Amino acid sequence: MAPSSTSTSPPSVVVVLILLLSAVPARLASIPVSDGLEQLGGGEGLHREILRDETVLRLKELGKISDGEGFLERTFLSPASFRATDVIISWMKDAGLATWVDQMGNIHGRFEPSNSTEKALLIGSHMDTVIDAGMYDGALGIICAISALKVLRVTGKLQRLTRPVEVIAFSDEEGVRFQTTFLGSAAVAGILPESILQVSDKSGTTVQEALRLNSFEATAAALGQVKYSPESVGSYVEVHLEQGPVLEALRYPLGVVKGIAGQTRLKVHSSSLLFFFR
Ligand SMILES: [Zn+2]
């Protein structure tokens, strides 16, 4: 995910992205679960049953929650997106997090230390997909974050955190349905224009109507409530598989991103009339 393609200065909500190696999907898919971490140099105390086995199972489970038959498609506010919401919430609760869904359909799972005045660490990724998506895109960042916090819970370390930690599964990054990317994260960053509510999908349903059909308020005020103040957020981290061949070709297991790309979608009308005559 990324905050926006607009020229608005980026919010402090989005600070750091971590790209996870593009080879990870291939490894997870091809290496038997029993020896995957050994090959990666794993040892005792790694909580493989959570960080490896359960994480892989959950990736496969979420990858099957689709609006399409035989392929993965889960767009903003689709029936499958709500089935996925229920599953993700159950995993967040299992990790010891307090959960809620905000007015843009983003799912939040938060651990709040008592009396903490520290800024939160946000971790997350997008839960929507492109059409015929890979099962790791977006899901990896959500499930890895939940698994990491679950390990902290079962080892008793979650309760000792002094900083709030929150996993967010963003409702829309890909923009497949409304051709407007980052609806979910832009709302959290507070840079989503009110006019977005009147944008229509292919069937003529507006964002506002789609939200209301699913019992969201869909008002400018409700959108405003989704925003996190920059003062409340210390940092944002996202694990994402590489969307290109570079790390894999270099055989690098991991890359840390220092900059991010935005997406802009344009409708272009072409004409055969020479530019001179226009
Ligand atoms: Zn993605």
Q: Sign of the C-alpha dihedral, residues 18, 19, 25, 27?
A: negative
Instruction: Delineate the domains of the chain, giving CATH numbers in brackets.
Output: 17-264 (3.40.630.10)
Output the CA 117–ligand 1 centroid distance in Å: 32
Output the CA 240–ligand 1 centroid distance in Å: 7
Q: Mean pLDDT over residues 116-141, rounded?
A: 96
Tell me the pLDDT band of 264, cut-offs 50, 70 and 90: low
Output the CA 208–ligand 1 centroid distance in Å: 24
**So what's the pLDDT on residue 11?**
33
Output the CA 271–ligand 1 centroid distance in Å: 34
Tell me the pLDDT band of 252, cut-offs 50, 70 and 90: very high
Percent of the chain with pLDDT over 70: 77
Q: Mean pLDDT over residues 265-278, rounded?
A: 58
Q: Mean pLDDT over residues 90-116, rounded?
A: 97
Output the CA 277–ligand 1 centroid distance in Å: 42
Output the CA 109–ligand 1 centroid distance in Å: 20
Output the CA 62–ligand 1 centroid distance in Å: 14
Number of neighbours of residue 133 by Cβ within 10 angstroms: 20
Tell me what the pLDDT averaged over the chain comes to. 84
Q: Which residue has the tokens 């190696």?
A: 21
**So what's the pLDDT on residue 257?**
84
Min mean pLDDT across 31-35, 191-195, 225-229, 239-243 is at: 31-35
Q: Mean pLDDT over residues 200-204, rounded?
A: 95
- Strands 165-170, 233-237: pairing kind: unpaired
- In sequence order, what are the residues at sequence separation of 6 or more whose Cβ sits closer than 8 angstroms to the Cβ of residue 248? 21, 22, 23, 242
Give SS3 for 230.
Answer: helix
pLDDT for 105 beyond 60: yes
Output the CA 138–ligand 1 centroid distance in Å: 5
**Do residues 147 and 50 lie in contact, with contact meaning Cβ atoms separated by under 8 Å?**
yes
pLDDT for 265 beyond 60: yes
**So what's the pLDDT on residue 33?**
40
pLDDT digits (tens, 9 = 90+) for 44-96: 678 999 999 999 999 999 999 999 999 999 999 999 999 999 999 999 999 99
Tell me the pLDDT band of 5, cut-offs 50, 70 and 90: very low
**C-alpha dist (Å) from residue 37 to 134, 222, 252, 278:** 22, 45, 16, 62
Min mean pLDDT across 101-110, 169-178, 237-246 is at: 237-246
Tell me the pLDDT band of 127, cut-offs 50, 70 and 90: very high
**Do residues 92 and 167 lie in contact, with contact meaning Cβ atoms separated by under 8 Å?**
yes
Output the CA 238–ligand 1 centroid distance in Å: 10
Output the CA 186–ligand 1 centroid distance in Å: 15
Q: Mean pLDDT over residues 124-132, rounded?
A: 96
Tell me the pLDDT band of 275, cut-offs 50, 70 and 90: low
Q: Mean pLDDT over residues 226-246, rounded?
A: 93
Strands ordered across the beta sheet of 17-20: 239-241, 17-20, 254-257
Output the CA 22–ligand 1 centroid distance in Å: 12
